[in-house]
Amino acid sequence: MDSGISIALLGCGVVGSGVMKILKDNQNLIEGKLGFPLHVKRIMVRNLSKARPNYIPADILTDDLSTIEDDDDIKIVCELMGGVSPARDYILRLIRAGKHIVTANKEVLAKHGPELLREAAGNGVSLRFEGSVAGGIPIIKPLAECLAANRITQLMGIINGTTNYILTKMSSEGREFAEVLSEAQEMGYAERDPSADVDGQDAAYKLAILTSIAFGIEARPEDIYTEGIRGITSLDLSYARELGFAVKLLAIAKEYEGKVQARVHPALIPLNHPLASVAGVYNAVFVQGNAVGQLMFYGRGAGSLPTASAVMADLMEAADSIARARPVSALAPMVKRWNGTSCLSRIDEVVTRYYIHLLVIDRPGVLAAIARSFGNAEVSLESVIQKGRGKEPVGLVFVTHRVRERNVQQALEEIRQLPVVVKVANVIRVEGEEA
């Protein structure tokens, strides 16, 4: 008597084939823990005739969702297609057909998570999504369950491997963005259309999910301030390093003045901060709770087997719950944390420190004029360094004390008008130090 549980996959690309490989390689271990086998009964794919590895049996492939939707034997479906359309419709149809859902689809969750979770709850099925953020790194369940007794005060993540790879290379080799990007594209670390990664959208989707779990609010991706890394130059990276900072694309969610900030942008972070040494394609999420203090979760944020590891954990938990008739925990990330209202701060309300890189004409009184503009906007300066004396224009690098973004913008507006200022070369927020 086998009494296993039948499942189906939607999509058999990078993550789907990883799930199939783990099911094959670790079959005994998985069955041993669950006490019963998992049977993959159907895999829905777009192209039935594409060549696939031998652990993906051709006879279970289908291009017809109804063969899964209408099969009452299939209890759990893993949606591993990505994107909103048709994933959202498929998930809704499968939920209404009584299937438990496991997904690694950050975009559909960030944009339609509340709808999908309500629908799942209404149909008495679960919707799990550990694989949607930071690949193999356990973060959704630790945030929701292991830190359940904490008020989360801040969360900062390096959750896009492509941009971290590019910034790491630019920094260690002194090269420029465009050149490193095309190399990354050749090596398969960046997509042919890299914009979702380098412009921060991918990180913003993941941050929307993390913010919802950590703060119990509905964080819509369109309310998340999002700025990518195209404007970062190797000169800024080397100035930052001299000042004692690394530059990372950070996804930040923080509680401040009773509101939650959620923002994705490049940031200077002190070299001794645990996030500063997260290099290459690795991801890490730094979390601070009012009881636990500072934590960091580090690992591979993408890739076939790491992401499939997270999907498999959700799948095994779903199967275990079905077999033991376990109701979903009140603490589980999938039920009620996502029903609040959005109350994200606007970016101009953010209070942090700023790195400001100006190009100016090198003549007496320049610094006084610029300092006056900062003063007029109540921006107080922590340090200023002059760079490239003797050349024209010269660089002036300022680091401010903590100040509201609105004041910085006001100061920069005035500074741009000064006849001695050639250009505001870069403005990068500085994070990772306590208020």
The SS3 assignment for 48 reads coil
Q: What is the 3-state secondary structure (H, E, C) of 334-373?
A: CCCCCCCCCCECCHHHCEEEEEEEEEECCCCCHHHHHHHH
- Catalog residues that contact a second copy under the rule CB under 8 A: 18, 22, 25-26, 29-30, 33-35, 130, 136-138, 141-142, 145-151, 274, 277, 289-300, 303, 305-306, 308-310, 312-313, 315-317, 320-321, 323-327, 329-331
User: What tokens were used for 178?
Assistant: 């465009």
Catalytic, 336? Answer no
Least separation in angstroms between residue 398's CB and a second copy is 29
Q: Please tell me which residue in 141, 206, 248, 254 is annotated as part of the active site.
A: 206
Residue whose entry in the numeric block shows the structure tokens 């100035």: 239
Spatial distance between the Cα atoms of 217 and 341, rounded to a whole number of angstroms? 6
Least separation in angstroms between residue 229's CB and a second copy is 23
Spatial distance between the Cα atoms of 362 and 355, rounded to a whole number of angstroms? 20
Bridge-based pairing state of the strands 282-289 and 293-300: antiparallel
Other beta carbons less than 10 A from residue 187's beta carbon: 9
- Cβ distance to a second copy smaller for residue 311 or 358: 311
Other beta carbons less than 10 A from residue 402's beta carbon: 13
Over the Cα atoms of the chain, what is R_g?
24
Spatial distance between the Cα atoms of 45 and 8, rounded to a whole number of angstroms? 11
Q: Are 133 and 103 contacting, i.e. CB atoms less than 8 angstroms apart? A: no
- Cβ distance to a second copy smaller for residue 69 or 431: 431
Q: At what angle do helices 304-324 and 14-25 cross, to 10 degrees?
A: 60
Least separation in angstroms between residue 207's CB and a second copy is 20
Q: Which has the closest alpha carbon to 33: 349, 431, 323?
A: 323
Task: Give the CA distances from residue 187 to residues 162, 168, 179, 184, 191, in Å, rounded to whole numbers and listed in that order.
Answer: 11, 15, 13, 5, 10
Least separation in angstroms between residue 149's CB and a second copy is 3
Spatial distance between the Cα atoms of 235 and 387, rounded to a whole number of angstroms? 10
Number of alpha carbons in the 13 Å side-chain half-sphere of residue 378? 6
Q: Are 108 and 133 contacting, i.e. CB atoms less than 8 angstroms apart? A: no
The SS3 assignment for 264 reads strand
- Cβ distance to a second copy smaller for residue 92 or 295: 295
- Cβ distance to a second copy smaller for residue 82 or 138: 138
DSSP 301-316: -SSHHHHHHHHHHHHH
Task: Give the CA distances from residue 402 to residues 181, 352, 385, in Å, rounded to whole numbers and listed in that order.
Answer: 33, 5, 18
Least separation in angstroms between residue 204's CB and a second copy is 24
- Cβ distance to a second copy smaller for residue 27 or 383: 27
User: What tokens were used for 307?
Assistant: 């992401």
**What are the backbone dihedrals phi and psi of residue 264, each rounded to the nearest 5 degrees, phi first?**
-125, 120
- Cβ distance to a second copy smaller for residue 16 or 142: 142
Least separation in angstroms between residue 195's CB and a second copy is 27
Least separation in angstroms between residue 18's CB and a second copy is 7
- Cβ distance to a second copy smaller for residue 1 or 330: 330
- Cβ distance to a second copy smaller for residue 328 or 403: 328
Q: Is the peptide bond before 266 cis (omega within 30 degrees of 0)?
A: no
- Cβ distance to a second copy smaller for residue 130 or 223: 130
Least separation in angstroms between residue 350's CB and a second copy is 24
Least separation in angstroms between residue 150's CB and a second copy is 6
Would you name the residues annotated as active-site residues? 206
